[in-house]
Amino acid sequence: MLRLAAAGARAIVDMSYARHFLDFQGSAIPRTMQKLVVTQLSPNFHEAVTLRRDCPVPLPGDGDLLVRNRFVGINASDINYSAGRYDPSVKPPFDIGFEGIGEVVALGLSASAKYTVGQAVAYVTPGSFAEYTVVPASIAIPVPSVKPEYLTMLVSGTTAYISLKELGELSEGKKVLVTAAAGGTGQFAVQLSKIAKCHVIGTCSSDEKSAFLKSVGCDRPINYRTEPVDTVLKQEYPEGVDVVYESVGGAMFDLAVDALATKGRLIVIGFISGYQSPTGLSPVKAGALPAKLLKKSASLQGFFLNHYFSKYQAAMGHLLELYARGDLVCEVDLGHLAPSGRFVGLESVFQAVDYMYTGKNIGKLVVELPHPVSSKL
């Protein structure tokens, strides 16, 4: 079912019952595609996930878009998902990958009220580690173009924005500690805290990351490989820090608890140091935690993005505005410095996940999915 529309006219394709369809560039969408599938539960991504090459390209329903993925985002929680930790009732095989950005290549009739073939969209829905993904039009996010920078906002940016806005109570002059500050979500926590006129301390693992953090406004980067974080905090911030944006867990979590000021707030958005373990947890000194919080009238709160989707559209809108104005850096790491080189193609998702767990990425890890156009009308 091919639509031919005059220049400037809205393109409408009813894909609800179509068996054969063409993409916006006129090259036939193949019947089969590649995608990653979790075939056994494990936090070891290589053991859990299989690249399948002959999967049928899904058809969009009436309210859906078929998106040809151009870039997909890597998240620390990909291995939590492959281990079945989010929904123990779901059994393999199942699709994986949280977020993607690409072009609409087909759509249902109802979806065509708001979207058109060829439009750039981003989305958060399971199954992005595939050449094509069906996305409900109701959750798609129109973006100006297919740039990986927009992908960085989808999970990493909104996690920082919503958690700090809802739980952080940021105000001018507050001291904010961001752990893993040069990573995918840490970069946003640093910048959003600076926009709120806070003093920002960021932990990281290399001089290159320290330099990046300075470039996005971090007041005090701490390379924990050359400076003990606890010593720096005790000497330079004896009154403690007001807010901690914590994603590392284990010893870093314990250190963050001890660094809290009176009425300080510790926001847990993850604990990457434990995700590769069988339990997914990294041990913390929980025994003394109630006493430590009580002594400082401090608070500890978890943040899981799925519980805040009512705030999501507004958060994305604000991040897109900040980026458009030049007030937000969206650092993308496509693997240029990785041992295997730039991350291109679904097979490189495995290398990208490995690279994340070496802790060497600066900014958001992203994999490019190239799609050569074989023919045109």
pLDDT at 159: 98
Task: Please give the pLDDT value at position 375.
Answer: 36
Name, in order, each residue with C-beta under 8 angstroms of 35's C-beta and a sequence gap of 6 or more.
51, 52, 55, 95, 127, 129, 130, 131, 346
Q: Report the pLDDT value the prediction gives residue 29, as an integer from 0 to 100.
A: 87
Q: How many CA atoms lie within 13 A of 178 on its CB side?
A: 33
The verdict on whether omega for the bond into residue 93 sits within 30 degrees of 0, i.e. cis, is yes
pLDDT tens for each residue of the chain, 377 residues long: 444 344 444 445 554 444 444 444 445 689 999 999 999 999 999 999 999 999 999 999 999 999 999 999 999 999 999 999 998 898 999 999 999 999 999 999 999 999 999 999 999 999 999 999 999 999 999 999 999 999 999 999 999 999 999 999 999 999 999 999 999 999 999 999 999 999 999 999 999 999 999 999 999 999 999 999 999 999 999 999 999 999 999 999 999 999 999 999 999 999 999 999 999 999 999 999 999 999 999 999 999 999 999 999 999 999 999 999 999 999 999 999 999 999 999 999 999 999 999 999 999 999 999 976 543 33
E strands, 199-311, in order: 199-204, 220-223, 241-246, 260-268, 299-302
- Residue appearing with tokens 């809802």: 166
Q: Count other C-beta atoms under 10 Å from residue 54's C-beta.
A: 8
As given in the structure block, the two tokens for residue 176 are 């904010």
Query: Whole-angstrom Cα distance, residue 319 to residue 28?
Result: 35
What six digits make up the tokens of 308? 């805040």
pLDDT at 13: 53
Pair 269, 246: CB distance under 8 Å: yes
pTM above 0.95, yes or no: no
Task: Tell how strand 364-368 and strand 64-73 pair up.
Answer: antiparallel
125-319-300-201 Cα dihedral, nearest 10 degrees: 130
Q: Is 245 exposed, middle or buried (0-12, 13-18, 19+ CB in 10 A)?
A: buried
Q: Quick one: pLDDT at residue 1?
A: 41
CA–CA separation, 371 and 377 (whole Å): 17
Residue pointed to by tokens 């019947």: 31
* Backbone φ and ψ of 185, nearest 5°: -95, -30
